[in-house]
Amino acid sequence: MLKLNLKLKLSNSLSLYYGGIFDWDQALQTLETLNQQAESPDLWNDQAEAQKILKHR
């Protein structure tokens, strides 16, 4: 939990410096979705889509 708090503080301070807001919760949700897709046994049925998933992850 300490690491998460530090990441949140860091991302909030960096977002102010760079003028953007990093949505940590959305990033974690997206990663979870990508991980589930990457673990699918049918992942490589569509190679182009599989490469997109793994690249984005």
* Distance from chain centroid for Cα 56: 8
pLDDT attached to residue 15: 53
Task: Name the nearest CA neighbour of 34 among 22, 48, 8, 52.
Answer: 52
Measured distance CA(17)–CA(56) in Å, rounded: 25
| pTM exceeds 0.85, yes or no | no
pLDDT attached to residue 56: 85
Measured distance CA(2)–CA(48) in Å, rounded: 38
The predicted-structure confidence for 11-56, as pLDDT tens digits, reads as follows: 555 555 565 677 888 999 999 999 999 999 999 999 999 999 889 8
pLDDT attached to residue 57: 82
pLDDT attached to residue 41: 93
pLDDT attached to residue 10: 54
Residue type, 4: L
